[in-house]
With several copies, the nearest count.
Chain A
Amino acid sequence: MSQTASARPAAGYTTDEMMSVAAARALRDGTSCFVGIGLPSTAANLARRTHAPNLVLIYESGCLGAKPDRLPLSIGDGVLADTADAVIGVPEVFNYWLQPGRIDVGFLSAAQLDRFGNINTTVIGDDYADPTVRLPGAGGAPEIAASCREVFVVVRQSRRSFVERVDFVTSVGHGRGPGDRERLGLPGAGPVLVITDLGVLRPDPHTRELVLTDVHPGVEVDAVRAATGWDLTVADDLGRTPEPTERELTALRALTAASA
């Protein structure tokens, strides 16, 4: 495929594909990324196959510098160990690699995300002891959200997932606003980017509230507001995400096809 052809916007793609492509683009080559499973893993692997071949993928199962040739089906997929620069024990991942703030980007998903980028993957409902829905729990997320230099969140946007305030703070974003991370002593910058199937949100530098900064092609701002559980602020200079290129879509589809 010629360079020109591959950079051409693709004809048809799904909103999930747009989300994965937008998330992948956010990852800079040569940086290190602590990869959660699911949407983050798809995006990180796509980045490594497109513009960021030297992206260092770190999985909590102990795989440093994994270079999987297909999408791993779990954070402990054998393909991660087979292709890693080093396989280490799980305590070492958290203590020697994550905790000291060595990792550039923590890439997470969420069941619920709130106005300040706090993440809930524990319980839906007001009563922890008697929840409406019992979610999987914390996993590595609280410390990924605390310690990585920056956090990116990739999550499908809806009123169920984008709420005014999460039912349970599993992983701290920007707390209840400015200065909260500093007060808690959390070393990383927290969520600086939230990529959804509708657009991109970033925290306002002053209020730390998530603000819509980009919409994906074909998405109207009203649709994003309708999928947001708080009174969404839209950036003055709202951008529009460039469509996926053919090269990006081809790489993404090859990746997901190889995993089916």
Chain B
Amino acid sequence: MARILSLADAVGEVVHDGDTVALEGFTHLIPFAAGHEIIRQGRRDLTLVRMTPDLIYDQLIGAGCARKLVFSWGGNPGVGSLHRFRDAVQNGWPVPLEIEEHSHAGMANRYVAGASGLPFAVLRGYTGTDLPAHNPNIKQITCPFTGETLTAVPALNPDTTIVHAQQADPAGNVQVWGITGVHKEAVLAAKRSLVTVEEIVDELRPRPGAMVLPGWAVTVVAEAPRGAHPSYAQGYYDRDNDYYQAWDAIGRDRDAFRDWLTETVFNNTATAGGGTR
């Protein structure tokens, strides 16, 4: 049964300096509130894992929390580049950032292997691309039945996975609906997990398209209303597209970013996603 804690206590318990941490959410249900709490708690040397590092990781990287990024697509969707990410990769600011780069299929399968207790996953992927030349975590494997050559990637087993969901019940059972991405795999692959939720309800009402994560498979749950803002939570609020647009100018400039950090993250201990609007 998952324990229910405050966001600050939950992040304090599951994220430590030097950890490998996955914050997942495929466009939908990105755990921004938890990300901002990691910044507030001043975590350092994290290996950040995420298929689509977008604003949330731009913020964590800019705040100096990360030493390495494992990912498959990094950008501000529909807007452009992640300037804090670029600044860290190209100029080592505020600290150097190592990268390990995959495809979505590779990352998704790494989580699947992690969730499955297997050391690796097999896929048809990366073949003929320049990715394997720059990533020792992409190897070949031979089918013992057909002799065919396929690709292998190692399991991802983060120290901690954090995702956001719509609801949990008092026993920590979590219900997610809409696009569920790699929520389940990322949580099950991790040694510890934190699920932030829009609300804790007395009882989960089954819904079409919903996925339930049993409370006994989750470490801690924290209520964080609007905790996915500026991304969205289906059934609760829409994506704040203006925030993504506005981020381009903030992220582009180190001073503007520092001001944003002070105003929006450090001077804001609320559990919300930290809106700039």
Interface residues of A (CB under 8 A from B): 30, 32, 37-38, 54, 56, 60-65, 73-78, 80-82, 85-87, 89-91, 93-96, 98-102, 122, 128, 130-131, 134, 136-143, 146-147, 168-172, 175, 180-181, 184-187
- Indicate with 1 or 0, residue by residue over B3-46, a CB within 8 angstroms of chain A CB atoms: 00000000000000000000000111000000000000000000
Q: How far is the CA of A101 from the CA of B188 in the complex (A)?
A: 11
A100 touching B116, Cβ below 8 Å: yes
Check B144 for interface membership: any CB of A closer than 8 A.
Answer: no
Q: List 26 A-B contacts (CB under 8 A).
A: A54-B1, A56-B214, A61-B181, A74-B239, A76-B27, A76-B181, A78-B234, A81-B209, A82-B234, A90-B181, A90-B182, A94-B105, A95-B115, A96-B115, A96-B116, A96-B185, A128-B130, A137-B74, A137-B101, A138-B102, A139-B103, A142-B103, A142-B126, A143-B125, A170-B129, A172-B127
Q: List chain B residues, Cβ under 8 A from A56.
A: 214, 216
B239 touching A62, Cβ below 8 Å: no
Q: List chain A residues, Cβ under 8 A from B239.
A: 73-74, 77-78
A95 in contact with B28 given A171-B129, A172-B129 (CB within 8 Å) = no
B241 touching A90, Cβ below 8 Å: no
Q: Total A-B residue pairs with C-beta atoms closer than 8 Å? A: 197
State the 7 A-B residue pairs at the shortest beta-carbon distance, nearest first.
Answer: A76-B27, A100-B117, A136-B75, A139-B73, A172-B128, A86-B212, A94-B105
B26 touching A91, Cβ below 8 Å: no
B101 touching A122, Cβ below 8 Å: yes
A169 touching B81, Cβ below 8 Å: no
Q: List chain B residues, Cβ under 8 A from A146.
A: 124-125, 127-128
Prevailing SS type, chain A contact patch: loop
Pick out which of these stretches binds chain A: B172-180, B192-200, B251-259, B262-270: B172-180
Interface residues of B (CB under 8 A from A): 1, 26-28, 51-52, 71-75, 77-78, 81, 85-86, 89-90, 101-105, 108-109, 111-112, 115-118, 123-131, 134, 148-149, 173, 178-185, 188, 209, 211-214, 216-217, 232, 234, 238-239, 241
Residue of B nearest to A38 (CB): B78
A30 touching B1, Cβ below 8 Å: yes
B179 touching A169, Cβ below 8 Å: no
Prevailing SS type, chain B contact patch: loop
Q: How far is the CA of A113 from the CA of B28 in the complex (A)?
A: 30
Q: List chain B residues, Cβ under 8 A from A76.
A: 26-28, 179, 181
Q: List chain B residues, Cβ under 8 A from A65.
A: 214
Q: List chain B residues, Cβ under 8 A from A140.
A: 73, 103-105
A175 touching B128, Cβ below 8 Å: yes
B72 touching A137, Cβ below 8 Å: yes
Q: List chain B residues, Cβ under 8 A from A54.
A: 1
B26 touching A94, Cβ below 8 Å: no
Q: Which of B74, B130, B178, B211 is the one whose CB lies under 8 Å from A78?
A: B178
Q: How far is the CA of A17 from the CA of B253 in the complex (A)?
A: 34
CB distance from B48 to the nearest CB of A (A): 14
CB distance from A146 to the nearest CB of B (A): 6
B118 touching A99, Cβ below 8 Å: yes
Q: Which of B104, B128, B216 is the one whose CB lies under 8 Å from A184?
A: B128
B217 touching A102, Cβ below 8 Å: yes
Q: Which of A82, A94, A100, A175 is the one whose CB lies under 8 Å from B104?
A: A94
A186 in contact with B72 given A87-B179, A95-B123, A143-B103 (CB within 8 Å) = no
